Structures are given as C-alpha cells and as structure tokens.
Amino acid sequence: MLETEVDRANIEKMVRSFYQMLIKDDIVGPFFIQALGDDLKNDKWQEHYKLLDDFWLMLMTGEKGYKRDPFLPHVSIGKLYEETFERWLTLFDTHVHQHYIPKIAKKFNKKAEILAKKFMQGLEIGVNPDDKNWASYKL
C-alpha cells in the first residue's frame, strides 16, 4: 500500500530500499560503493542513512534536524556527468512512486530535480553557469 503522508518511518524505509537497489546500478552504484562500501550495514552507510533521513524529512515536512551542506560531499566523489544525475533521478522517480501516492512522489521528485540541477551547476556539469534562474528555485 502506498504511503499517503510523509513521516520519519516511511522515509527511512524508502531511503534504505532505494540505496539497496541503487548500489546494484552500473552507472551510479560504483560512486556509492567507492565512497561508502558495498556493505549497507557498515557504519558509513548507517551514518549516510541518518543524514538522508534527516535531509528528506526536512525537505518534505520542514522538520529540523539536517544541518549540513548537501553539496559538499559531491565535490570529491569523483567525476560526475549529466548522465549520472539523470540516471539517479530516473531511479529515484521510479522508487518514490513505489512508496508514495502520486501527489507525494511528484513532490519528492520535484525537489530532487531542483537539487540535481543545483549540484550540476555547482559542479559545472551540463548547465550554463551564467544561468541565474537556478537561484530562484526553492527546495
């Protein structure tokens, strides 16, 4: 049954199942395995899950708890490409639609798309750095 509201418990469930699937992907999986390992129960993954839980809870409900800059870890992750972000977004879109009603899934995806575009701009990937429209997008 699809979730009809967003709370910590269903975000935790969605995040964990998403990354279980994601690390098996040939395009984006290697980035996460290189950074965090392939054992999703290790301490690095557990810390990452906690950050992601707090991050998505903040974006989706406004609940405070996430206090980091989400961009910084992506600077040193390795050479990312527009296709890397597109693949992550496609997988995320499919996954959140498996967990949430369409209205909520679309909200997750809109925020993910804006975030990906901001990251790509910050990393100077596939976007025009002079395009100031990104500054007006709100997560």
- Encode pLDDT of 92-124 as tens digits: 999 999 999 999 999 999 999 999 998 888 888
Q: What's the confidence (pLDDT) of residue 17? A: 97
Task: Check whether 134 has a pLDDT greater than 80.
Answer: no
22 occurs within a structural domain: yes
Task: Check whether 20 has a pLDDT greater than 70.
Answer: yes
Higher pLDDT, 65 or 46: 46
Task: Check whether 41 has a pLDDT greater than 50.
Answer: yes
60 occurs within a structural domain: yes
- Cα distances from 138 to residues 40, 57, 113, in angstroms, run 31, 16, 11
2 occurs within a structural domain: no
CA distance 106 to 85: 17
Q: What's the confidence (pLDDT) of residue 89? A: 97
As beta bridge partners, residue 100 has 3
69 occurs within a structural domain: yes
**Local confidence band at 128 (pLDDT 50, 70, 90 cut-offs):** low
At what angle are helices 8-22 and 29-36 packed, to 10 degrees?
A: 100
Helices (H), 67-101: 72-75, 82-99
As beta bridge partners, residue 3 has 100
Task: Check whether 15 has a pLDDT greater than 60.
Answer: yes
Task: Check whether 37 has a pLDDT greater than 80.
Answer: yes
The range of the structural domain enclosing residue 73 comes to: 8-136
Give the total number of structural domains in the chain.
1
3 occurs within a structural domain: no
- Sign for the CA dihedral angle at 89, 93, 98, 99 comes to positive
54 occurs within a structural domain: yes
Query: The CATH number of the domain where 69 resides is what?
Result: 1.10.490.10
Is there a contact between 10 and 3 (Cβ–Cβ < 8 Å)?
yes
1 occurs within a structural domain: no
Q: What's the confidence (pLDDT) of residue 137? A: 47
14 occurs within a structural domain: yes
Q: What's the confidence (pLDDT) of residue 119? A: 86
